[in-house]
Amino acid sequence: MTSELVDRALVEEATKKSGLIWVRGPGAASRALWHSWHEGAAYVVGDGPGEQPLPGLADGAGAEVTVRSKDKGGRLVSWAAAVTELEPGSQAWETAVGELKGKRLNAPDGEAMPERWRRECRVLRLTPTGVTAPLPDGSLAAPPLPTPATTREPVPAGLPRLLFKRRRSASR
């Protein structure tokens, strides 16, 4: 009983303090998602234009949530979650959106954001099931997911001259 309470407290405190959680749905790769912790669960919004993808997360399914340390970046705890999709416009949805709205950075539509979420996005509640996974012995590093981002271009020919010129003039 005592270890269950300690695990629950660890899950809540770590998830509350972390800006990102890593979530893996059935058959999908782990994704970093921004979230809001409220009333014993993590809430995420996504799957709409300009919002984070929620691959593999479906109503009634499970997910694995990994929480990292905010200051060191290392894994603190991994916990199993029950996924529930909230009905747009319901009291639970309104409460969750009120919490999420304050966490959303750089929203393109400001105060119209909740209405866009109602039309185009999904809001999910990730409720801890009480099962925490033991910390792994080794690294679980994986190659990055495919992305349309490009690698960096070669350094322009004039850049070294500009950099060295600044250093010389700064030291005078």
pLDDT in tens, 123-143: 999 999 988 988 878 877 778
Mean pLDDT of 70-83: 89
Tokens 């899950």 appear where? Answer: 11
What homologous superfamily does CATH list for 2-171?
Electron Transport, Fmn-binding Protein; Chain A (2.30.110.10)
pLDDT over 70 at 1, yes or no: no
Higher pLDDT, 135 or 114: 114
How high is the pLDDT of residue 172?
A: 56
Q: What distance in Å separates the CA atoms of residue 32 and residue 42, rounded to the nearest whole number? A: 13
Q: What is the pTM assigned to this prediction?
A: 0.78
Query: Domain extents for the chain?
Result: 2-171
Q: Which long-range contacts (CB under 8 A, 24 or more apart) does 92-99 make?
A: 92/125, 93/118, 93/123, 95/38, 95/39, 96/36, 96/38, 96/43, 96/45, 96/123, 96/125, 97/45, 97/123, 99/36, 99/38, 99/43
Mean pLDDT of the chain: 87
pLDDT over 70 at 7, yes or no: yes
